[in-house]
Amino acid sequence: MGLGSDMYRQQILDHYKNPRNYGELEDPDIEHVGENPMCGDTIKVFVELADDEETIEHVSFIGDGCAISQASASMLSGELRGESLSAVREMDRDDIVDMLGVDLSPMRIKCAVLAEKVAQDGIAIHQGEDVEVTKTE
Amino acid sequence: MSQQAQPLDVERLREDFPILDREFDGTRLVYLDNAATSQTPEPVIEAIADYYREYNANVHRGIHQLSQEASVAYEEAHDRVAEFIGADGREEIIFTKNTTESMNLVAYAWGLNELGPGDEVVLTEMEHHASLVTWQQIAKRTGADCKYIPITDEGRLDMDAARELITDDTEMVSAVHVSNTLGCINPVGELADVAHDHDAYMFVDAAQSVPNRPVDVEDLDADFLAFSGHKMCGPTGIGVLYGKRHVLEAMEPYLYGGEMIRKVTFEDSTWNELPWKFEAGTPLISQGIALAAACDYLDDLGMENVERHEAELAEYAHDRLTEHGDVEVYGPPGDDRGGLVAFNLDGVHAHDLSSILNDSAVAIRAGDHCTQPLHDVLGATASARASFYLYNTHKEVDRLVEAIDDARQLFA
């Protein structure tokens, strides 16, 4: 093995190979797609809300791309369930870095935060805001 | 000049490149990103330092001794580059920022003035964005059309299609000499003949050929040819546009300002002689002088020898990479390519692969290599690319292959 392949700990590889909550929701309240043109990663996030219109009841995603982007989406999908929309909008990149638990080079951070950005922009659109194209560059 | 190729004394010449001794966490760097930029040998670094220590001055406008020394060195750098590619003289060598600027110079100075509706620019599917985007946008502005010569299933230029696509409506054929993704060597001399049969100009993107093999502009009969200094042991910030003298003479300037003029009044201006007509403002003095030193360095090694060394490494890499049957290498077979190999390991994104290789101090490129439309044709969003230069070794290819084994195990 090389110098440790820190970025690719077992947990990340596991989420990449066996993504959780993968697939489309049938009748989502929120549905949004974004890309990281650098890697060619794409992530589409689906969210179903509880009756209070604020609590996330179900989350799923589909996507294509590098291990970091797809594992991050898989792990995030588990974290978002039960969260409030306002809490998700307050998340930042440190939350993702903490969730992944690995050191990421600046170039790869863009892969890691794609799912978070897609979810946040999707919520923003749901709440009536204008969002141009979702990209992490 | 047909010289017998001699093996390079790689062990000795590596001493000229101190950066190759760098270690990351105790592991020696393996630098295989040479198609992006090459490393710089001591004589070139010295040429830059000498200029700044000994004769730094602006050129062509001082009567004092320093300015004279700088002017002579800067002008002679054009002569040296002309000699390196078989051009007639300094009049045919314009120093630019890089290959991209060389393309844009011709596209703006010639294309905007000469192209119009009904005219065609013929490119290849494997063009670098430097050429593809430039001609695509100039065509949009002028109403001209761009056509693309396709690649064959084996990843070569389809010359039969080229002969169909190049017609009397064609005004410019712009083709990459060695593809930075497929590694194939395109018959640009043959393309130039076809272009000239239809009274079109031939522009050769030589960014991946001039640094790596003997190139003679007269043999190719190219009207324009462009390359960058930083891929051929030179510094960043300098590129070259070669143009046939009579073609350059007929062209309008690209940038206006000081240095490029002969006589200026409030009403009008006249232009300086070639090549200065196209070098407005204070030029790339230290970079130009250093590029001449890079030409000296490469000619001392012999470009035939550099070419053979790289071809051997590329063939060895091609063979080793395909040992397991789970690596797709793009472009023609191993014994017929320039010194680079673009590939994908099944099930591992190129960026993941590059990150894992980085853990073993192996530096490669991962991405679209500025050939997005070609990647669309290949059906890949990205690829990994190992590119070799005169200082790389078979052992370094082995280090690449071992690091890929790590990735294979991790993702298994």
Torsion from C-alpha of A75, A76, A78, A84, nearest 10 degrees: 170
Domain boundary among B299, B321, B339: B299
Taking all residues of chain B, what is their mean pLDDT, rounded to a whole number? 96
In tens, the pLDDT along B281-314 reads 999 999 999 999 999 999 999 999 999 999 999 9
Residue B218's domain comprises 45-299
In tens, the pLDDT along A48-104 reads 999 999 999 999 999 999 999 999 999 999 999 999 999 999 999 999 999 999 888
Name the DSSP class of B370.
T
Question: Could you list the active site residues of B?
Answer: 370
Q: In chain B, how many domains are there?
A: 2
- Nearest CB neighbour to B349, from listed A5, A17, A66: A66
Q: In chain A, how many domains are there?
A: 1
Q: What is the rounded distance in angstroms from the CA atom of residue B151 to the CA atom of residue B142?
A: 27
**Domain for residue B166, yes or no?**
yes
Chosen from B346, B348, B349, B364 to mutate, greatest number of chain A CBs within 10 A? B349
**Residues in contact with B273: Cβ distance below 8 Å, sequence separation at least 6, in sequence order:** B91, B262
Q: Do B411 and A6 touch (CB under 8 A)?
A: no
Q: What is the rounded distance in angstroms from the CA atom of residue B3 to the CA atom of residue B1?
A: 6
Q: A35: domain CATH number?
A: 3.90.1010.10
Give the residue-averaged pLDDT of B224-252: 98
User: Which residues of chain A have a CB within 8 Å of the CB of B27?
Assistant: 3
**Domain for residue A61, yes or no?**
yes
Which pairing describes strands B170-176 and B120-124: parallel, antiparallel, or unpaired? parallel
Closest approach of A4 to chain B, Cα-based (Å):
7
Beta strand spans in B274-380 (E):
327-329, 340-345, 362-363, 365-367
- Nearest CB neighbour to A13, from listed B351, B359, B411: B411
Q: What is the pLDDT of residue B1?
A: 45
Among A109-113, A115-119, B334-338, B407-411, the least confident range: B334-338
- Residue from B361, B371, B383, B370 nearest B32 by CA: B361
**Domain for residue A136, yes or no?**
no
Domain boundary among B299, B324, B352: B299
Cβ–Cβ contacts within 10 Å for residue B303, how many? Answer: 21
Torsion from C-alpha of B231, B233, B235, B239, nearest 10 degrees: -50
Residue keyed to tokens 């929701």: A25
Same-domain pairing of B227 and B263: yes
User: Which residues of chain A have a CB within 8 Å of the CB of B359?
Assistant: 2-7
Same-domain pairing of B309 and B337: yes
Closest approach of A115 to chain B, Cα-based (Å):
17
User: Which residues of chain A have a CB within 8 Å of the CB of B409?
Assistant: 1
Same-domain pairing of B263 and B351: no
What DSSP line would sit under B50-107, residue for residue? HHHHH----SSS--SHHHHHHHHHHHHHHHHHHHHHT-SSGGGEEEESSHHHHHHHHI
Q: What is the rounded distance in angstroms from the CA atom of residue A91 to the CA atom of residue A98?
A: 11
Residue B35 has pLDDT above 70, yes or no: yes
Orientation of helix B42-54 relative to helix B285-301, angle to 10°? 150
Residue B375 has pLDDT above 80, yes or no: yes
Rounded to 5 degrees, what angle do the CA atoms B273, B279, B284 make?
130
Chain B interface, Cβ < 8 Å to A: 24-25, 27, 348-349, 351-352, 355-361, 367-368, 381-382, 403, 406, 409-411
Q: Do B351 and A66 touch (CB under 8 A)?
A: yes
**Domain for residue A47, yes or no?**
yes
**Domain for residue A131, yes or no?**
no
Same-domain pairing of B244 and B226: yes
Residue A30's domain comprises 6-126
**Domain for residue B3, yes or no?**
no
Q: What is the pLDDT of residue B334?
A: 77
Q: B401: domain CATH number?
A: 3.90.1150.10
Which band of pLDDT confidence, cut at 50, 70 and 90, is reported for residue A4? very low
b/e for B69-107, b at 16 or more Cβ within 10 A? bbbebbeebbebbbebbebeebbbbbbbbbbbbbbbbbb
Give the residue-averaged pLDDT of B183-187: 97
**Percent of chain A at pLDDT above 90?**
76
User: Which residues of chain A have a CB within 8 Å of the CB of B351?
Assistant: 38-39, 66, 68, 107-108, 111
* SS3 assignment, position B29: coil
Q: Do A5 and B410 touch (CB under 8 A)?
A: yes
Same-domain pairing of B122 and B167: yes
**Domain for residue B1, yes or no?**
no
User: Which residues of chain B have a CB within 8 Å of the CB of A71?
Assistant: none
Same-domain pairing of B275 and B396: no
**Domain for residue B2, yes or no?**
no
Which band of pLDDT confidence, cut at 50, 70 and 90, is reported for residue B145? very high
Q: What is the rounded distance in angstroms from the CA atom of residue B407 to the CA atom of residue B324?
A: 13
What DSSP line would sit under B241-289, residue for residue? EEE-HHHHHHSPPSS-SSSSEEEE-SS-EEEPPTTGGG--SS--HHHHH
Residue A2 has pLDDT above 50, yes or no: no
Residue A20 has pLDDT above 90, yes or no: yes
Give the residue-averaged pLDDT of B317-325: 95
**Domain for residue A135, yes or no?**
no
- Nearest CB neighbour to B349, from listed A1, A17, A65: A65
Q: What is the pLDDT of residue A37?
A: 81
Q: C-alpha distances in angstroms, B400 versus A11, B28, B321, B357, B407? A: 26, 12, 9, 7, 11
Q: Do A2 and B355 touch (CB under 8 A)?
A: no
The amino acid at residue B83 is E
**Domain for residue A117, yes or no?**
yes
Q: Please name the residue of chain A whose CA is at the shortest distance from the CA of residue B375.
A: A40
User: Which residues of chain A have a CB within 8 Å of the CB of B356?
Assistant: 2, 5, 7-8
Closest approach of B180 to chain A, Cα-based (Å):
18
Q: What is the pLDDT of residue B3?
A: 57
Same-domain pairing of B289 and B250: yes
- Nearest CB neighbour to A2, from listed B351, B360, B381: B360
Q: What is the rounded distance in angstroms from the CA atom of residue B102 to the CA atom of residue B168?
A: 25
Domain boundary among B283, B299, B315: B299
Q: Give the pair of three-digit tokens for residue B276.
A: 């200065």
Residue A3 has pLDDT above 50, yes or no: no
Q: What is the pLDDT of residue A1?
A: 43
